[in-house]
Homo-oligomer: A and B are copies of this chain.
Amino acid sequence: MLRRPTIKDVAQRAGCGIATVSRVLNGQGSSSEQTRSKVLAAAEALGFEFNDLGRSLQSNSTRTIGCIVPSLANPVFAEVVQAAQAEANRAGYQLILACSDYDGGLETKAIRTLLAKQVDGLIVTVGDARTSEGLELIRAKRTPCCLVYNTPPDNGPGDGFAAWTVDNRGAADAVAEGFARQGHSCTGFLALEFGRSDRSRERYEGFVAACARLGMAHPVLLEIEEQEGRLLQLLGAMLAEHRGITGIFASNDYLALAAMKAARDLGMQVPADLSIVGFDGISTGLMVEPNLSTVVTDPKAMGRGAAQTVLARLAGLEPPGRPDPAHTFSFRQGGSLGPPSAGKSDGGEAATSPPSNQ
């Protein structure tokens, strides 16, 4: 027989009813030592394991939490997921993961699928909390949900959702101040999935506002279109085009590291010819020379916090308190941020490489 044994098979073999099997194997209710051992023996002999489908259908709970992040390629989300999973497991829940690949369509589809699978809760980073269709679905179904790294807007689908997030604007402010302190004025904001990430947008907007406040030039938006191998070339071309810039704020550390490499390949010195600041605080940033200046966040705490929030709601308990926005990040000054070299700070061009004249 190829069919997996069911509780019925066990009951038959043990010579008892299925309810008895359920009771014994679940350790609930009472049973005589007699039948206990008979059931145990039968289950063992058959290699019986419960089928969660039946159980979940009956109990109206899957003990499962869905998790959706844009990508696992970004170690930040990998950490969020790992931390959330650890927390969920501790509470006897299983995490089901899906990636949206920064694609709104996939995001909606993934949320729909997880909802159909009757996940008990959801931990989600959406592309844009103001417009996400998926969030509408979650709200309609009233499934407990916590956002991660998204800021819930005052209206739109994300409104009213719990969230563990980073104060992107405050962080961008700190970065702008870092640049100002070193005497930079002409800066750029480098982003990869800009327009598909509300985090990126918030960081950019915050940076623009802070630069204005500090009397610096309006930052240039440096948007990278694709990836896959060509990233360094694209970055190189972009840097070559914007020689006037003395400082770059990258929307994540990976991009920042790539920019450092691209600059080096162009014969530029970091930070003398170009200062670079990242975002996230991934550990690799500490392994390069010079160290990466960056905004350090705590993705583990975010993942854990979000999981606890959902878990608490499932258990009918008070959710954990969230950190003060000002403590959701810290600015780490590293070697990649320094004063611009004399020739560059006043908008001139010290490092002329091919011929250029801005």
Contacts and interface: CB of A to CB of B under 8 A. Distances in A.
- Interface of A: prevailing SS: helix
Contact of A98 (B50, B51, B57, B85): B85
A284 interface: yes
A106 B2 CA distance: 28
Nearest to A47: B140
Nearest to A97: B97
A117 interface: yes
Given A82-B71, A95-B98, A4 B141 contact: yes
A52 interface: yes
Contacts of A89: 106
Interface in A68-104: 71-73, 75, 78-79, 81-82, 85-86, 89, 94-99, 101
Q: Indicate the size class of the contact surface on chain A.
A: 35 or more
A4 to B, nearest CB: 7
Contacts of A94: 98, 113, 117
A148 to B, nearest CB: 15
A270 to B, nearest CB: 11
A53 interface: yes
Interface string A15-59: 000000000000000000000000000000001011111101100
A264 interface: yes
Contacts of A237: none
A86 B72 CA distance: 12
A289 interface: yes
Closest 10 CB pairs of A and B: A72-B78, A97-B97, A261-B287, A52-B116, A53-B57, A257-B287, A96-B96, A52-B117, A284-B284, A94-B113
Interface of A: 2, 4, 47, 49-54, 56-57, 62, 64, 71-73, 75, 78-79, 81-82, 85-86, 89, 94-99, 101, 106, 112-113, 115-118, 140-142, 232, 254, 257-258, 260-261, 264, 284, 286-289
